[in-house]
Amino acid sequence: MKKLMIALAAATLLAANVQASDSVTKGKVTFDGQMSGLTDSLIVLKADNNSFTRLDTVLVKDGKFHFTVSLDQPTDLYIYSPGTLRHTERIGFTAIAVPGEKATITGDQKAYYFSGSKFYEQYGAVDRVAEEAMKPLRLLEDSLTERMKKGEPQAQIMKEYDAKEPALLAKGNQQILDFIGKHNTSEGCAAYIPSLNDLELMKKAAGLLSDDVRNGRMKSYYQAAIDQAQKQAEKEAEQAKKQGNGTVAPDFTLNDLNSKPLSLSSLKGKYVLLDFWGTWCIWCVRGIPMMKEYYNKYKGKFEILSIDCNETEDKWKAGVKKYDLPWLHVYNPRNTKVLDDYGITGFPTKILVGPDGKIVKTFIGEDPAFYKFLDEQFGK
């Protein structure tokens, strides 16, 4: 079972980078489906590096659809309503397309299932096993979300989640691996490997497959996911080195709101919170009230130096004024090495630098644990 949010994850990129399909005759894949919640048409696309190719536009009637695409290897399809690409609705799903096979898709926007030819029967089987294996974790998430909506403190909810999630996730993953091990001649199991979304799990699952399946027509599909995860792991390891506790924070000099140079080294001897942000970053903006609260709460114990990234100077200055941010600010042009020096890959990223110029702690995203850390660090 795939989720709508997974299907929509690349919607913005799709809308901006859709190209026409070529006319080369390749292996055909046929899809028939009946899914509630579909509108009058669907657009079928596939990814090509940093762009997406439109393969077909499909009419939908009473939730039913039919289309055939031609491909030369197993490929993920992204199937959206036109309104989804325009960001006016959220209707879509993903499907693996395997040349020479026929798929039947049934269900709705929250849960849909595969059947059809032998491959899709196999894929549907492992998909359902995985759904059942992860059901306890999904139920926990749904329960905690409802409790938070009713007013329970987020910190308390997250503490409970952090305590229960690892065991539930490990148990669910083991059940999936057990199924793959028992059905190691199933190409559907090979195709499910990227859905494990963890490098070591994907490697382990591939190792469970029979030689014929491991080296068969699904190898290019699952191996691409493993290779991508390997590159990401290496990137994260390099990032961790740059952001690790005790690492000397690289010095930099950037212009402040008055176009005067301000260097990190000029603040040595103080605790300095480097706040990598931008007014375009929704989570950065959402975190401003708490940032202000903690800046005032521990004023004099640490300084905040916000480093604006990936936008124009005019938007940066307007944002600082709009949100009335009382701490230090500098602007980071796109041609500097600052983001690379600090291994910044997500926003917001908050890095506390100690009086000795070494990194104390790094937080990526708007994480409640960051404010708990500030209480522990400065609330003594």
> Quick count: other Cβ atoms within 10 Å of Cβ 86?
11
Kindly give the parts of the chain with pLDDT less than 50: 1-16, 18-25
Which helix (H) or strand (E) covers residue 16, if one does?
helix 11-16
Q: Per the omega criterion (within 30 degrees of 0), is the bond before 348 cis?
A: yes
Distance in angstroms (rounded) separating the CA atoms of residues 138 and 70 = 36
Distance in angstroms (rounded) separating the CA atoms of residues 218 and 216 = 6
Query: Where would I find the beta strands (DSSP E) of 253-370?
Result: 253-256, 261-263, 272-277, 303-309, 328-332, 349-353, 359-364
Report pLDDT digits (tens) over 171-194: 999 999 999 999 999 999 999 999
Fold exhibited by the domain 253-378: Glutaredoxin (3.40.30)
User: What pLDDT, on the 0 to 100 scale, is given for residue 1?
Assistant: 44
Which tokens go with 304? 């905040």
pTM given for the model = 0.73
> Quick count: other Cβ atoms within 10 Å of Cβ 292?
16
With H, G, I as helix, E, B as strand and everything else as coil, classify residue 21. coil
Closest CA to 112 of 136, 89, 88, 96: 96
User: What pLDDT, on the 0 to 100 scale, is given for residue 155?
Assistant: 77
Residue ranges covered by each domain of the chain: 1-116, 118-242, 253-378
- Angle between the 368-378 and 154-182 helix axes, to the nearest 10 degrees? 130
Q: What is the DSSP string of 148-196?
A: HHTT--HHHHHHHHHHHHHHHHHHHHHHHHHHHHHTTT-HHHHHHGGGG
Domain 1-116 CATH assignment equals 2.40.50 = no
β-sheet bridge partners, residue 329: 306
Which tokens go with 220? 């290019």
Which tokens go with 207? 């190792």
Same fold, 1-116 and 253-378: no
User: What pLDDT, on the 0 to 100 scale, is given for residue 240?
Assistant: 84
User: What pLDDT, on the 0 to 100 scale, is given for residue 4?
Assistant: 41
Query: Contact, 303 vs 328, CB < 8 A?
Result: yes
Report pLDDT digits (tens) over 147-158: 989 999 877 898
User: What pLDDT, on the 0 to 100 scale, is given for residue 285?
Assistant: 96
Question: Which conformational region is residue 343 in: left (phi greater than 0), alpha (psi within -120 to 50 degrees), or beta?
Answer: left
Residue pointed to by tokens 């089987």:
125
User: What pLDDT, on the 0 to 100 scale, is given for residue 26?
Assistant: 58
Which tokens go with 138? 């999904």
Closest CA to 307 of 342, 356, 357: 342
User: What pLDDT, on the 0 to 100 scale, is given for residue 172?
Assistant: 98
Q: Which long-range contacts (CB under 8 A, 24 or more apart) does 7-10 make?
A: 7/78, 7/79, 7/80, 7/92, 7/93, 7/94, 8/80, 8/84, 8/90, 8/92, 10/47, 10/52, 10/78
